Amino acid sequence: MSSQNRELTKYNILEYLKNNFKIWTSGNEKIDKFIQERQLKIDEYDTIIEWISYNQLDKIKETVKNGHITVYSAIWKDGPLYYDNLCEKYTRNSNKEVALKYFYNSQNSIDSLINELKIGSHNDIIFKRIPYNQYDEIKEIESLQNPDSELLNEVKAYIINNDGGILMTYEISQNSDTKNYIIVLQYAAG
């Protein structure tokens, strides 16, 4: 990635992202378009949503399985690209522990995935940490009635800012063996 060769600032980040549109693909036109649109709307304080190759995820361990949702922890080798206010440039937080939310049988669940990630403004939704034992049901999207809509809706819900301990979405990935889509989230130990 050319970010290692070039310092990325708020002045050249959009050019860098546009140039990278040509060198990555999720293999799905809707997901590519969604990620590109989100990247073009960033401001200097956003963590940038990206497509990540599955081989960038290491030490994958199942942490929660309940019904149709399975969550794993993993180490993201390169880590998220974010704006460092002190250095006034974008940098990566390598070897970042992340949470992976798997979407089983998600080949046709693209709209649902994008809808979960996408919101109008990163300040539209406010989350607070709720202890795990207070959840009544955790949902895994497996056999979806309308897979495109449901998966994109799931992804939309996570794109928010990271003020006040809010879980950040870093990107979308896909298990290269199973072809299941994955939302890569900030890891929250609990």
The predicted-structure confidence for 31-68, as pLDDT tens digits, reads as follows 888 888 888 887 656 667 888 888 999 999 988 877 66
What is the H or E stretch that residue 152 is in?
A: helix 147-156
Give dist(CA 14, CA 4) in Å, integer: 16
Contact 163, 85 (CB under 8 A): no
What is the H or E stretch that residue 151 is in?
A: helix 147-156
Contact 80, 48 (CB under 8 A): yes
CATH of the domain at 20: 3.30.200.20
pLDDT computed for residue 118 by the predictor: 59
pLDDT computed for residue 61 by the predictor: 92
pLDDT computed for residue 163 by the predictor: 43
Q: Domain of 100?
A: 2-186
Q: What domain count does the chain have? A: 1
**Which residues of the chain, if any, have pLDDT below 70?**
1-5, 43-47, 67-69, 103-171, 185-190
pLDDT computed for residue 67 by the predictor: 66
Give dist(CA 21, CA 175) in Å, integer: 21
In the block, which residue shows the tokens 């390598």?
A: 94
pLDDT computed for residue 77 by the predictor: 93
